[in-house]
Homo-oligomer: A and B are copies of this chain.
Amino acid sequence: MRCFVPFAVEAPKSRLAPVLTPGERRSFATAMLCDVLDALDTAGIAATVLSTAPITDDRVTDRAAVTVDDRALTTAVNARLAEETPTLIVMADLPLVEPADIQELLASEAAISMAPGLGGGTNALAVREPRFRVDYHGASYLDHRRAAADLGATVGTVDSRRLATDIDEPEDLAEVLIHGTGAAHDWLADAGFELDTTGGRVGIQRDG
């Protein structure tokens, strides 16, 4: 299935500012993108990065084609859906995703199959209904369910912790340290991050 991974080149992952510099955020966001592209590749999907600007980082260009569309996320994705379906849209900040999770999305026979993110987002979406359009603002999972219902399109939901775990906040980094095995995990380890299990809840700390 045709697949796009949206990626914001400028100032990505602003909510990680308390723990990472702007340059580090760009590099870490790219590492997460690499994990997503690797999972898609192993699942047999040749993905295209739908980027807000040209990408020169060979970690990305070695892995996937890049299409530049500098419009807002929702607009850029809807332009791709208008071109052709079925189309798979997978967010770039899912470093825990594994090929089996992608296969589960592809195996669904629903017109719209979705993997909800924590907090009501839509982390991955396989669209087989040509009239369906996304709206990523707010609780997009609920909005997408309603939009599908308005079209009389069937909806399937993939129940996956790995697909649900988008990395936005400093506390989310603990999930990558606990469960990650790829580029994003290694990036954090190289940057000196480790789990802090001294308190009641698991957090992160950074050395040196």
Contact = CB atoms under 8 A, between A and B. Distances in A.
Contacts of A142: 178, 195
B116 A179 contact: yes
B118 A118 contact: yes
Given A159-B160, A159-B162, A162-B159, A141 B178 contact: yes
A174 B119 contact: yes
A103 to B, nearest CB: 12
A192 interface: no
Contacts of A179: 116
A120 B160 contact: no
A161 interface: yes
A110 interface: no
Interface in A134-168: 138-139, 141-142, 159-165
A101 interface: yes
Nearest to A118: B175
Contact of A138 (B163, B171, B197): B197
Interface of A: 98, 101, 116, 118-120, 138-139, 141-142, 159-165, 171, 174-175, 178-179, 195, 197, 201-202
15 contacts: A98-B159, A118-B118, A118-B161, A118-B165, A118-B175, A119-B171, A119-B202, A120-B174, A120-B197, A138-B202, A139-B195, A141-B178, A142-B178, A160-B160, A164-B164
